Amino acid sequence: MPVPSDEFKHLPPGIVLGPDGKPCKVCSSFKAWSKSQRSGSHSNAAAKDATTATALAVSTNTTRENCPPDVEALGRATWTFLHTTAAYYPTSPSAQHQSSMLALLRSLPVLYPCSFCASDFGRAIKRNPPEGVVGSRESLARWLCERHNEVNQKLGKEEFDCGMKSLDERWKDGPSDGRCD
């Protein structure tokens, strides 16, 4: 979860600093980033008007196609990938599957573009090491759900039911009413 910008009085609300001390685009929401860009100083009124018009056009378009992800889009995409990978993980994984899954999970705190999110996930896997959960699809899926719920709790979002029926319905089989078929 990004550090709230009220700790940094010179930053607009919702803007997060990266490890280099500069505002981090991928660590901030698109809404906060675009607002900060609109409120920044521009050398002339025409540039400001063009930026505002573009930002307004983009903000009315809820699908930001072909744009770099903000922290929310990156998080959704990452959790979708991780949960879906767990949903299709073998019931009795081979040593290679287990090793690869551990490498994937352990790489996130190192490679994830949002540095605060990466550090937070790194702390979560230190508290709850994944080594004991990669031995089965069910244990991995529940473990990921629990880590995701920790993030949801920090963000004030509703927690997800980590039962296998709910997880399989959401990430593998779809709802029983067939609306996703």
Q: Where are the domains of the chain?
A: 5-60, 71-173
Class of domain 71-173: mainly alpha
Return the pLDDT at 181.
79
Token representation of residue 31: 């809404």
Return the pLDDT at 91.
95
Q: In this structure, what DSSP letter does residue 90 have?
A: -
- Measured CA to CA, the distance from residue 164 to residue 2 in angstroms comes to 30
Return the pLDDT at 4.
46
Return the pLDDT at 58.
47
- Measured CA to CA, the distance from residue 125 to residue 179 in angstroms comes to 35
Return the pLDDT at 63.
63
Residue ranges of alpha helices (H) inside 112-177 are: 115-127, 137-154, 164-168
pLDDT-flagged residues of the chain (< 70):
1-10, 26, 40-63
pTM of the model: 0.73
Return the pLDDT at 62.
55
Return the pLDDT at 54.
45
Return the pLDDT at 53.
44
Q: Closest by alpha carbon to 82, among 60, 54, 101, 109?
A: 101
